[in-house]
Amino acid sequence: MSQNNVVQSKKIGLSLGGGAFRGLAHLGVLQALKENDIKIHRIAGTSIGALIGALFAFGVSIDKMIKTANDITWMSISRFRLSKMGLLANDELGDIIDDLAGTDRLIEDADIPLSIIATNLKTGRKVVLEKGSLRDAVIASTCIPGIFIPIKVDDTLLADGMLVENVPLSPLQNKKLDLIIAVNLTNKRSYGPPEDFVDIIINSLDIAVDVHTQSIIKSADIVIEPAVENFSRFDSGKADKFCQLGYKAAMSAMPEINRLLKKGNFFKKKINFIKRMKPFNLT
């Protein structure tokens, strides 16, 4: 088998991590993979990674996603709703899914197998959504706790998947994949000095998530880390910049990706740093 055929025969999984607006760097990563003929066979996404991963899995073009991203602000994807469960509702994010991927889409109908991570707020368990409403799954995975009102899916109250697996690698394990690529948006992040109790809460949450993420990304074959550490998760209006940073990081990783893909005896045993759990599907 020729080297090109060896590469083309490999099955690749892609994990897209959370990071709010910093996650627009995922679009640059996808563009670099496309330009280098790296075909993705399975996707897992958390938070903004769930949104972009879902759109990509349903065949929405990268150009269309970038165009939409340039018009997105916090106000365009949320609205104020006074509730004891949160300050904002993010139903408008579901409208983006409907507009780009189509209405009433089911996760299991994706062109590329898709897993979306959310958190069960009652049990604290990870929920891997692989069936059911695409719109509801993305809304659930992006419900930042304390800001967005959690969403009920089949009577289960769900919130942002970053709480349990911000870079979702566990859904890609044991899927007969030859290479797993992870995109982490929290590397070398600076939290800044807190100025009030809200900053203390946000910094504490970010630190806990980031420490956990550093341990789980060790199970990926390739980790792409765009240089977005100096940007806030709330930095809207910078889609082009985030895309450039994602593209640059992915292109830097391309020699190693190609090296691994061209190895004839690619299959190897490796330590799995993620506790394997059977996906909890909500339909």
Q: What residues act catalytically?
A: 47, 160
DSSP-assigned letters across all residues of the chain = --HHHHHHH--EEEEE---GGGGGHHHHHHHHHHHTT----EEEEETHHHHHHHHHHTT--HHHHHHHHTT--TTTS-EEEEETTEEEE-HHHHHHHHHHH-TT-BGGG-SS-EEEEEEETTT--EEEE-SSBHHHHHHHHT--TTTBPPEEETTEEEEETHHHHSS--GGGTTS--SEEEEE-S-TT-------SHHHHHHHHHHHHHHHHHHHHGGG-SEEE--S-TTS-TT--S-HHHHHHHHHHHHHHHHHHHHHHHT-TT--------S---------
